[in-house]
Amino acid sequence: MSLTHFDETGAARMVDVAAKPVTQRTAVAEATVRCQPATLDLILAGDGKKGDVRQVARIAGIQAAKNTGSLIPLCHPLPLDGVTVDFTSQPPDRLTVTAAVTCTGRTGVEMEALCAASVAALTVYDMVKAVDRGMTIEAVRLLRKTGGRSGDWRRPADGGAADQS
Amino acid sequence: MSLTHFDETGAARMVDVAAKPVTQRTAVAEATVRCQPATLDLILAGDGKKGDVRQVARIAGIQAAKNTGSLIPLCHPLPLDGVTVDFTSQPPDRLTVTAAVTCTGRTGVEMEALCAASVAALTVYDMVKAVDRGMTIEAVRLLRKTGGRSGDWRRPADGGAADQS
Amino acid sequence: MSLTHFDETGAARMVDVAAKPVTQRTAVAEATVRCQPATLDLILAGDGKKGDVRQVARIAGIQAAKNTGSLIPLCHPLPLDGVTVDFTSQPPDRLTVTAAVTCTGRTGVEMEALCAASVAALTVYDMVKAVDRGMTIEAVRLLRKTGGRSGDWRRPADGGAADQS
Amino acid sequence: MSLTHFDETGAARMVDVAAKPVTQRTAVAEATVRCQPATLDLILAGDGKKGDVRQVARIAGIQAAKNTGSLIPLCHPLPLDGVTVDFTSQPPDRLTVTAAVTCTGRTGVEMEALCAASVAALTVYDMVKAVDRGMTIEAVRLLRKTGGRSGDWRRPADGGAADQS
Amino acid sequence: MSLTHFDETGAARMVDVAAKPVTQRTAVAEATVRCQPATLDLILAGDGKKGDVRQVARIAGIQAAKNTGSLIPLCHPLPLDGVTVDFTSQPPDRLTVTAAVTCTGRTGVEMEALCAASVAALTVYDMVKAVDRGMTIEAVRLLRKTGGRSGDWRRPADGGAADQS
Amino acid sequence: MSLTHFDETGAARMVDVAAKPVTQRTAVAEATVRCQPATLDLILAGDGKKGDVRQVARIAGIQAAKNTGSLIPLCHPLPLDGVTVDFTSQPPDRLTVTAAVTCTGRTGVEMEALCAASVAALTVYDMVKAVDRGMTIEAVRLLRKTGGRSGDWRRPADGGAADQS
């Protein structure tokens, strides 16, 4: 078993995708922030005059998706078609960021979705760290993807090795 | 309880730190990648001719630390003094990235350490995703920080709400 | 009436353009710098040994057009086909920057043209601010666009609400 | 009269500020968006479920302030201390963005404040352009600055050449 | 004879390539680092525990290729298909970086290959400069290109004016 | 002999400079472009209506100096004090770019000067490549540096190993 990101001598490379067809691609990823219950209340109270952590984090996530080609060394720069970043809460102590990315291109957008979810979650951390420095971002993971030669993929419902948390 | 990243009207802001003293700052953060045992073997075999996933991820993490001010909207741009990104494995299925950042400045470098660890872990994911798409990045978290008005902080050994994974 | 940059819950998003056809797009925008007459003379004298403010500003504008996808949060990153930035003067006290952008893509390049004109005008300001700090950039506006579903658009000659200055 | 951004041969340069003292700097700039009255209503309605244009524009402005050193070719990269971006409306047809920047450094932050105000205004334009393509950004201008060798400056109340709009 | 990067008035522009067909493009460029023999030994010893200068430089070169559109003012931003950066040594005192770039687009990737080779070579310099500050990067040059209207090109074997070093 | 950019296990790192004093730093580097005599004439004719390659290249070089911390993976981000990029010609076939950088900081600016000279030379190549694709950038090298613990350094007049071209 070998990794396509390296050639036979072990040199890293940005894999040549010139021969791959241009197809529609989608990917959805999530990141969960675990925090103190009072912190979650504070985040969810953000609709009013207190300022909404989620709106700032959403913009950071969208920008990160577009910036993936420079964040992740062997990723291809891609002209993304769309990015959404949404939040759901699992009281008393979890906030989940879900990022969805679409593209018409020669390679998938899993990394774009994962970067968007991660950076949105890090931005949440940044904005509330003064009151809850011990917050953890957990379960940054791909939920599903469509398009491309490797076809569609969906995270198994039972979790599997990477899904037990 | 309110968040310093918002003013009294709820507007997000980059908090003015002009009145804070310039002091030495350090922060250490980690991110753990959970994968299939065969994937971990593949990553750890990287010393030889197969290419080392960790060396690529380390560079990505260091670059991300320097780029934190543009990734995280309300973070201050900081002239970092040093960044290290290291890896340890917890067989059979975990690889941990530990990032340490130092700075002489008016604000802390927690976000720089967290960004470095996160982006290094995402880069690991990118390089092995073709063989293990279900990998999860879990427990992105601050381990300790020193310097600044809020003083030193160390993650409690017992974990606490944010530390139970 | 609602804005396409938000979904039904009010969340900002980068609108999905995957279903839109790839077509030729053009956009032309302008920005006018109003300054002291002596400042305009200084800018226009730039052909000789004194250094040409406009040449520096032109490069800044072209670079800004290419950078629009990271400057404007909900803009799509676009592989631009061409960018020009030109200057005309309206003595005694105005210099106008005109930026034209072309692209073959799924979404328009109005923002690219506006960013190019704005950043070129800001660069002019930067270079002469030491002698005329009170300069104003006024009338940053779209002049025309072609291509795309919304079709061609041309600023009304009479100005209209947005054109009375 | 000559411009410090050029040397005696007319070559552009980033002026050497090594000999200037490190002092506290502030700058405040504004940009006004003129739009249809219905557009202004739409922008101001953004507190509720419709999505708030201003919150997105605020983040774009803060990011632009930090990015000024790469947007404006001869600007120095500066470790900013603080950035705020605020909005006021002048019904029936104007929205004003006010950006304030602080820094402890060897050179002023006028360009940072102007870039923040401009990019925030451009982001407002981007988000409502589908309903009001004729919007104009007018009167991008410095309101005041403090610190540095050239001392404090405040835009004259009567306007003057650059202030008559 | 005139340069396409300027219009008839001498204004720089990003040339409009909208009318050019989308074709497969490749370019290969190289940069040679000349150093002390002991320095070359140090670089080549990098497979073991000492750390491999080439692996870091390779990542820097790949990132630079992707970043060419912002490094070189009049270059088009291009969605690259692939990038490789490789090293060969010519003992006792030379290390050559060879960068190959592929793209499906309207304009060539010569600059991407040259930027990758240059930045990789500069990164080698950075990592060993403490022991050999006098190193020189010489012969940064295009080796060959394919695709596009100007057709294929290959550096003459005899060198020619630009090839005598 | 070992390299400071790697720790004892061979891991790359951004070396911690927190303990180093803040001092004045300067560095001067050059890059020489070798071209056809007719190409050099074309470049040098750029004062008039034909457009000046050097002015565009100068801006690219200044921007590259500021961007060095993201181009070169293990470089520290530095708040530069000043950057100049100048050109001299050695007829019939050489144009030399000389970049000078100053900074008040904990680490030197050699890489900033080398990046500025290299990117300026690459920009020259880009602008004239349509008429002279075989151009070579040769002798990218440090001329001198001052400041810092390693003290002043000046390239030996006789050239030495790295200076024989």
Backbone angles phi, psi at E143, to 5 degrees: -95, -45
Residue at token pair 């990648």? B33
Tell whether C23 is within 8 A of chain E (Cβ).
no
Q: What is the pLDDT of residues E97-106, one digit of tens each?
A: 999 999 999 9
Cis peptide preceding D92, ω within 30 of 0: yes
CA-CA-CA-CA torsion for A130, A132, A134, A136, nearest 10 degrees?
-100
Q: Supply angle C-alpha A71, A75, A79, rounded to 5.
A: 90
pLDDT of residue E125: 97
pLDDT of residue F47: 60
* Arithmetic mean of pLDDT over chain F: 91
Tell whether D11 is within 8 A of chain F (Cβ).
yes
Residue D163 has pLDDT above 60, yes or no: no
Q: What's the gap in Å between the CA of D110 and the closest CA on chain C?
A: 9
Quick one: closest CA in B to D56, which residue? Answer: B12
pLDDT of residue E49: 59
Q: Which two tokens stand for residue C94?
A: 């105005």
Residues 6+ away with beta carbon under 8 Å from C133: D110, D142, D145, D153
User: Among F160, F108, F165, which Cα is nearest to F140's?
Assistant: F165
* Arithmetic mean of pLDDT over chain B: 91
Tell whether B144 is within 8 A of chain A (Cβ).
no
Can you spell out the DSSP letters for B37-103?
HHHHHHHHTTTSTT--HHHHHHHHHHHHHHTHHHHSTTPPP--EEEEEEEEEEETTTEEEEEEEEEE
Average pLDDT over residues C28-57: 89
Residue F161 has pLDDT above 60, yes or no: no
Interface mutation vs chain C, best among F49, F54, F56, F85, most C CBs within 10 Å? F56
Q: What's the gap in Å between the CA of B16 and the closest CA on chain A?
A: 14
Q: What is the pLDDT of residues A92-101, one digit of tens each?
A: 999 999 999 9
pLDDT of residue F1: 60
Average pLDDT, consecutive stretches of 10 residues, N- to C-terminus, chain A (165 residues): 84 95 97 97 77 93 98 96 97 98 97 98 96 95 92 79 36
Average pLDDT over residues F90-95: 98
What is the distance, to the nearest Å, from the Cα of residue E131 to the centroid of all Cα atoms in its chain?
25
Given a contact cutoff of 8 angstroms between Cβ atoms, the answer to whether D140 and D114 are in contact is: yes
Lowest-pLDDT choice from A102-116, D38-52, E122-136, F50-64: D38-52
Annotated binding site of C for substrate: 74-76, 111-112
Q: What ipTM does this complex have?
A: 0.95
pLDDT of residue E164: 33
User: Among D114, D157, F52, which Cα is nearest to C118's?
Assistant: D114
| Share above pLDDT 70 across residues of chain E, in percent, rounded to a whole number | 92
Name the residue among B70, B73, B77 with its Cβ closest to that of D79: B77
Partnered with residue F82 across adjacent β-strands are F102
Inter-chain residue contact E14 with C79, CB threshold 8 Å: no
Tell whether F17 is within 8 A of chain B (Cβ).
yes
Please count the residue pairs, one from chain B and one from chain E, whose beta carbons lie less than 8 angstroms apart.
11
For residue F43, name the pLDDT band (cuts at 50, 70, 90).
very high
Q: What is the pLDDT of residues B43-82, one digit of tens each?
A: 998 765 567 899 999 999 999 999 999 999 999 999 999 9
Q: How far is CA D135 from CA A51, C96, D35, D130, in A?
A: 28, 18, 5, 11
Going along chain D from its start, the domains and CATH numbers come out as 27-149 (3.30.70.640)
pLDDT of residue C2: 74
pLDDT of residue A165: 33
**Whole-angstrom Cα distance, residue C162 to residue C156?**
10
* Arithmetic mean of pLDDT over chain C: 91
E67-81 as b/e: b if 16+ CB within 10 A: bbbbbbbbbbbbbbb
Catalytic residues of A, by residue number, are: 126
D30 vs F8, more confident = D30
Residue C163 has pLDDT above 50, yes or no: no
Residue C97 has pLDDT above 60, yes or no: yes
Which stretches of E8-154 are DSSP H helices? 37-44, 53-66, 68-71, 110-128
Tell whether E13 is within 8 A of chain F (Cβ).
no
**Three-state secondary-structure class, residue E57:** helix
Q: What's the gap in Å between the CA of C127 and the closest CA on chain E?
A: 18
Catalytic residues of E, by residue number, are: 126
pLDDT of residue C147: 93
Residue B89: how many other CB atoms lie within 10 Å: 15
Q: What's the gap in Å between the CA of A70 and the closest CA on chain E?
A: 7
For residue C158, name the pLDDT band (cuts at 50, 70, 90).
low
C126 is catalytic: yes
**Whole-angstrom Cα distance, residue E75 to residue A16?**
21
Residue B76 annotated as binding site: yes
Q: Which two tokens stand for residue B52?
A: 């080392």
Residue C108 has pLDDT above 60, yes or no: yes
Given a contact cutoff of 8 angstroms between Cβ atoms, the answer to whether F122 and F137 are in contact is: yes
Partnered with residue D83 across adjacent β-strands are B14, D101
Tell whether B134 is within 8 A of chain D (Cβ).
no
**Three-state secondary-structure class, residue F86:** strand
Residue A103 annotated as binding site: no
Residue D75 annotated as binding site: yes
From chain E, the residues in CB contact with A16 under 8 A are: 81-82, 102
**Whole-angstrom Cα distance, residue E82 to residue E72?**
19
Residue D112 annotated as binding site: yes
Residue D127 annotated as binding site: no
Residue F29 has pLDDT above 60, yes or no: yes
Q: What is the pLDDT of residues E108-159, one digit of tens each?
A: 999 999 999 999 999 999 999 999 999 999 999 999 999 988 889 999 985 5
pLDDT of residue A136: 97
Inter-chain residue contact B140 with A162, CB threshold 8 Å: no
pLDDT of residue F45: 87
* Arithmetic mean of pLDDT over chain E: 91
Q: What is the pLDDT of residues B15-26, one digit of tens each?
A: 999 999 999 999
